[in-house]
C-alpha cells in the first residue's frame, strides 16, 4: 500500500491497485508460452573436422617436433647398421642370438624397419585421403589416389615383413623353371613400375608443401641408389660393404618417405585440404617460354617492314588513299545528317484553334 499512499480516499487506492493488477495479468498473458522443445534445446556439438582434438594431438603443427622424429629415425637406422657391422666383424663377442638378429644377410631388423616405416606412411595416406575428401574444390576426385597409395603401401609392408617376395620367386622358379637372372629382373621391373607411379602421384600432390617435396626427391634418390647395385651386377667393392650400403640406403628411403607423408598430413590439417593448383609440366612451360621469345623478334620485324613500306610509297598513292578514306567517311555520315536535318511537321497554332468566329464577336459587341 505504500505506492498508493498519495491517493485521497480508500476507493481511489482500490481502483489504482485493481488497474495495476489487470495490467500485469495482460502482460503475462501476452508473453508466448515456452515449449518443451525450446527448454530441452541443447547446443549442437562441433563437427569433427580437420582441426579436431585427436588429430591435433597426434600430429603437431611445430616443425621442431617433426625434426626430432626424423632424428630418432636416423639414430635407429644408424644403430641397426652399426649392429650389422659389429655382427660381421666381431661375431664371437655378440653370441649366436645377437648374431642371428643383427646379421645383415638375413636383415631381420632392416626388414622390420622398412615394414614399420611403410606401414605408418600408409596409415598417414589414409588420413590424408579422409582429409582431402572434405575438399569442395577437388572436382576431379584426385583424393582417391591417396587411398590407392595406401593400399600399395600396406601390401608392400606385408611383403617386406614376411619376405613374401622370396616365397613368390621360389614358387615361380618351381612352376615355370625361370632362371635367377630373369626372375630378379622381372621383380625389379615391377618394383620400379609401382614405385614410379606412386612417386609421380605424390609429387603432384605435394607441390604446395616444399618440405614434403624435397623429402620425396630424397626418397627417389635413395631408392635409386639402393636398386642400382641389383641391376648393375658386380661392383668393385666387397660384398659386405655393398650389403651395408644397400641396407643403409633402403632405411633412409623408408624414413624420407615417412617424413614426407607426415609433413603432407600436417599441411592438410593446419594449412588447407584443397588440392594444389594445376600447373604445366616444367618442360612444357620452358617450351612455351622460349616459343614466346622466338615470336617477339618476328613480330617486331613485321611491324618495321610495314612501316618501311608505308614510308616508301609515292605521294600520289598516299593522296589517293586519303581521298578514298574521306569518301567512305562521308558516306557513313550521310544517313545521320539526313535524320538530323529532317523538317518537323507543321503544327497548328493555339490561337487558330481557340479563336471564336467573327459573327459571334459582332453579336456580343452589339449586345
Domain parsing of the chain, residue ranges: 108-275
For residue 8, what pLDDT is reported?
56
For residue 212, what pLDDT is reported?
93
- Cell numbers describing residue 25: 495479468
Residue in the block written with cell 606412411: 121
Q: Is 118 exposed, middle or buried (0-12, 13-18, 19+ CB in 10 A)?
A: buried
Cβ–Cβ < 8 Å for 132, 264 = no
For residue 366, what pLDDT is reported?
65
Q: How close are the terminal C-alpha atoms of the chain, in Å?
A: 92
pLDDT under 70: residue ranges of the chain: 1-16, 22-56, 179-184, 232-234, 279-285, 292-367
Nearest to 194 by CA among 225, 148, 161, 226: 148
Give every CB contact of residue 197 below 8 A, 6+ residues apart in sequence: none
Which parts of 233-281 fold into alpha helices (H)?
239-270
In degrees and rounded to multiples of 5, residue 309 shows phi and psi of -65, -40
Q: What is the pTM of this model?
A: 0.62
198 CB neighbour count, 10 Å cutoff: 19
Cβ–Cβ < 8 Å for 226, 86 = no
Give pairs for 178-183: CB < 8 Å, separation 24+. Answer: none
For residue 349, what pLDDT is reported?
46
Amino acid at each position: 500500500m505504500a505506492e498508493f499512499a498519495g491517493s485521497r480516499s480508500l476507493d481511489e487506492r482500490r481502483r489504482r491497485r485493481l488497474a495495476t493488477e489487470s495490467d500485469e495479468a495482460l502482460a503475462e498473458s501476452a508473453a508466448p508460452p515456452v515449449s518443451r522443445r525450446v527448454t530441452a534445446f541443447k547446443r549442437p556439438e562441433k563437427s569433427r573436422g580437420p582441426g579436431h582434438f585427436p588429430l591435433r594431438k597426434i600430429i603437431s603443427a611445430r616443425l621442431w617436433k617433426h625434426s626430432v622424429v626424423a632424428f630418432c629415425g636416423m639414430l635407429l637406422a644408424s644403430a641397426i647398421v652399426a649392429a650389422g657391422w659389429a655382427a660381421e666383424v666381431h661375431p664371437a663377442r655378440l653370441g649366436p642370438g645377437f648374431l642371428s638378429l643383427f646379421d645383415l644377410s638375413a636383415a631381420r631388423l632392416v626388414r622390420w624397419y622398412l615394414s614399420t616405416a611403410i606401414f605408418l606412411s600408409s596409415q598417414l595416406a589414409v588420413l590424408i585421403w579422409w582429409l582431402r575428401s572434405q575438399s569442395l574444390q577437388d572436382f576431379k576426385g584426385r583424393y582417391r589416389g591417396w587411398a590407392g597409395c595406401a593400399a600399395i603401401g600396406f601390401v608392400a609392408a606385408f611383403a617386406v615383413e614376411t619376405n613374401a617376395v622370396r616365397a613368390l620367386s621360389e614358387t615361380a622358379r618351381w612352376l615355370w623353371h625361370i632362371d635367377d637372372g630373369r626372375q630378379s629382373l622381372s621383380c625389379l621391373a615391377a618394383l620400379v613400375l609401382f614405385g614410379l607411379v606412386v612417386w609421380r602421384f605424390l609429387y603432384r600432390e605435394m607441390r604446395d608443401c616444399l618440405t614434403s617435396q624435397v623429402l620425396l626427391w630424397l626418397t627417389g634418390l635413395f631408392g635409386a641408389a639402393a636398386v642400382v647395385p641389383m641391376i648393375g651386377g658386380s661392383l668393385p667393392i666387397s660384398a659386405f660393404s655393398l650389403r651395408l650400403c644397400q641396407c643403409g640406403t633402403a632405411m633412409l628411403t623408408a624414413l624420407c618417405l615417412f617424413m614426407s607423408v607426415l609433413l603432407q598430413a600436417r599441411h592438410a590439417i593446419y594449412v588447407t585440404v584443397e588440392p594444389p593448383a594445376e600447373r604445366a609440366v616444367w618442360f612444357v612451360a620452358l617450351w612455351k617460354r622460349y616459343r614466346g621469345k622466338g615470336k617477339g623478334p618476328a613480330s617486331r620485324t613485321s611491324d618495321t617492314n610495314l612501316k618501311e613500306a608505308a614510308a616508301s610509297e609515292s605521294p600520289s598513292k598516299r593522296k589517293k588513299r586519303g581521298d578514298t578514306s574521306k569518301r567512305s567517311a562521308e558516306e557513313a555520315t550521310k544517313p545521320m545528317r539526313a535524320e538530323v536535318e529532317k523538317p518537323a511537321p507543321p503544327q497548328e497554332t493555339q490561337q487558330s484553334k481557340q479563336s471564336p468566329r467573327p459573327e459571334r464577336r459582332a453579336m456580343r459587341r452589339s449586345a
